[in-house]
Structure 1
Amino acid sequence: MFEAGAVLGVLEALRKAGCAVWVAGGWGIDALVGRVTREHGDLDLLHRAEQEPAVIAALESLGYAERTEGVVPGRPARFVMTGPGGRELDLHPLHFRPDGSALQRLDDEGGAFTYPAEVFVTGEIEGVRVPCLSVAQQVSFHQGYPPRERDLLDMARLRAAYGIDTHF
């Protein structure tokens, strides 16, 4: 389990190290809703690719280590670090453009996912303002695959909080 206190501890360590990160995934949805809505098995973080050495060093100081076994897809799209209590961080390096948009490299053949500048917003976890991805980006990420029960519940929470259409 990844509890709110552990999330805030990771974010604070990264902030102190001068690293810009954005919360995504289930914790990102909870940040947008402004409250913890369910248990989380991991924490998804997007970070500036050029800050990756500092990100890794800050996380290693908290007891995290990169795990390469069973991580699909792996680098360059993402990598996983495992820490105290078996907590997992799913880290996504982003290459920012001058206009504030970002690219996430998906493979070594030039495949990439683009994040428009406006998807980088803030939310709240346990009363603390945190950088996260926008409602529109979260909804977009939940398209194109058969939703799991938790996906349906996450989209229902966004629908209730923002009055938007989140149907699959």
Structure 2
Amino acid sequence: MGEQDVIAVLDELTDADVTAWVDGGWGVEALLGTVSRPHSDLDLVVLRTELDTIRAALAAAGFTRVLRDVLPTALALADQAGREVDLHPVDATEDGGGDQVLPDGGTFHYPAPVPGRIGGHTVLCVDTDTQLRAHQGYPLTDKDRGDIARLTAHTAVR
């Protein structure tokens, strides 16, 4: 999934008047304002109350194939071209963020989104501290280690 694909999906969701902020690998790219590697999917934090509207907007854009449905935790969709969108529904919180229900019944808190840049466009994305926190508790891949190193180096420069 390339930069223009990401922007097209975000534009569809903006047109649908829903909330979405970029997470995962594209979230790291947005925070750093550069693209360092290929991405197979686009992770988005979305409001659970808007999930029906989001699904309709994504279906209109061709994302109709369900790859993984573990709601209320996550929902992954794909289009005919193989582009994937992985939704992380949250319940809105007073701080402007949201709480995601985890499979074990616990929650993961996303603070309010911060601005980032993808393809010359300003986007909302998950903050650096939350990105780093989300990379804990599971075996890391080379991509994960690279993302952590880039975020850590970027944070040290700030």
Task: Please report the TM-score for the alignment, with normalisation by the length of structure 1.
Answer: 0.86
Q: Which amino acid aligns with 1:155?
A: I
Aligned length: 157
Is the CA contact (8 Å cut-off) linking 2:110 and 2:126 kept in structure 1?
A: no
For the residue of structure 1 that corresponds to 2:70, the secondary structure is coil
Deviation at 1:66, TM superposition (A): 4.3
Quickly say closer, same or farther: Cα 1:63–1:158, change in 2 above 3 A: same
Correspondence 1:1-168 to 2 at 5 A = 2-68=1-67, 71=68, 74-107=70-103, 110-117=105-112, 120-163=113-156
For the residue of structure 2 that corresponds to 1:86, the secondary structure is coil
Deviation at 1:97, TM superposition (A): 2.2
Alpha-carbon distance in 1 for matches of 2:94, 2:154 = 32
Q: Deviations over 1:48-101 (max 9, x none)?
A: 111111101110111111415xx3x71110011111311111101110123424
Where in structure 2 are there 5+ consecutive unaligned residues? none
Q: Which amino acid aligns with 1:95?
A: D
Is the CA contact (8 Å cut-off) linking 1:44 and 1:90 kept in structure 2?
A: yes
Question: Aligned Cα RMSD in Å?
Answer: 1.7
Is the CA contact (8 Å cut-off) linking 1:94 and 1:104 kept in structure 2?
A: yes
Is the CA contact (8 Å cut-off) linking 1:66 and 1:79 kept in structure 2?
A: no
For the residue of structure 2 that corresponds to 1:84, the secondary structure is coil
For the residue of structure 1 that corresponds to 2:76, the secondary structure is strand
Task: Please report the TM-score for the alignment, with normalisation by the length of structure 2.
Answer: 0.92
Alpha-carbon distance in 2 for matches of 1:37, 1:139 = 17
Alpha-carbon distance in 2 for matches of 1:62, 1:27 = 19
For the residue of structure 2 that corresponds to 1:79, the secondary structure is strand
Alpha-carbon distance in 1 for matches of 2:39, 2:110 = 24
Identity value in percent: 39
Where in structure 1 are there 5+ consecutive unaligned residues? none
